[in-house]
Amino acid sequence: MSNLPLFVAYDYKGLKAAADELGVKVRVAGPTAFDLAAFIATVDQVCAQSPAGVSVVGWDPSLTEPVNNCLANGVPTVTDDADLPDSDRLSFIGTDWGAIGVAQAKAMIENLPDGGKVALLSIINADNMIAARKGFKAYLDAKAPGKFEVVAEEDDAADSAQAAAKTAALLAAYPDLAGIAGFDAESGAGIVSALREGGKQPGDIVVTAMEQSVDFYNTVKEGYVQAIIVQNRELFTYYAIKMLYDYNHNGLKTVGLSAADGGRPIPPRVDTGLLVVNQENVDKIVAALSK
């Protein structure tokens, strides 16, 4: 999804900032649709060109092998946004997705103190989404035991139209549905679209979601969405490039071992943090984004 609005608005700014600062060349590669086969092929093709480094959005475990192949062929490779923890990647730069699940669960409890039935939408097999859903459910169980029932976990393939269709089906299947949590960038827009089309009023169903376009923040002002979790996305790619640059250039060693000899001169994980958008701060954020 190389032209995903979220990437264009934030991630690519971080790439450019790092490239300008370090004096290196960066290139974006990948299919425009959520096409894992094409994505895998792209990683293989790029690594075959022996670049100085590669950063991969690890959306699916099937990317583990091509990432390992990159490293086996001498191409330093990190992951950003979504991790591949079973791969040999040198570092992951992004949000703690367990913390995202906790943040959405906190907002759900705050807005549904009596609990109820909730459904989850995400990219179902992505490691980061799995971690988010686990964090969400664990927090509900710990902080509101017996109050919430997760009735469905649906795959929307990071497509707002699919998210809308899945939400409409959930509304029909569970007339007493109380909350919906969306964990990819397109989930929230699809959820709100289905709620509007289904005649739901703001607040009828509590919605927590991830950041998307500038316009999406208006759904918080309108009351359709109670909390949007914002990742520090510009830092993903900014520090991914910096980690790759440092791996190649900082000359630091691990117990005397250089990077070429098996040392690790960069940290294995960089947590870029998150921000929760709600009624208290949405006006300030919308104003800042509109400049």
Does residue 6 surpass a pLDDT of 90?
no
Please report the pLDDT score of residue 128 as a whole number. Answer: 87
CA neighbor of 282 nearest in space, from 232, 200, 222, 209: 222
Q: What is the pTM of this model?
A: 0.85
Mean pLDDT of the chain: 95
Does residue 57 surpass a pLDDT of 90?
yes
Please report the pLDDT score of residue 221 as a whole number. Answer: 94
Please report the pLDDT score of residue 213 as a whole number. Answer: 78
Euclidean distance between the first and final Cα of the chain, in Å?
Answer: 27
Give the Cα separation of 127 and 58 in Å (integer).
8
Give the Cα separation of 203 and 83 in Å (integer).
34
| The pair of three-digit structure tokens given for residue 241, joined into one six-digit string | 């490039």
Question: Could you read off the pLDDT of 173-192 as tens digits, one per residue?
Answer: 999 999 999 999 899 999 99
**pLDDT class for 290, splitting at 50, 70, 90?**
confident
Question: Could you read off the pLDDT of 124-144 as tens digits, one per residue?
Answer: 988 889 999 999 999 999 999
Does residue 275 surpass a pLDDT of 90?
yes
- Are 242 and 18 within 8 A, CB to CB? yes
Does residue 5 surpass a pLDDT of 90?
no
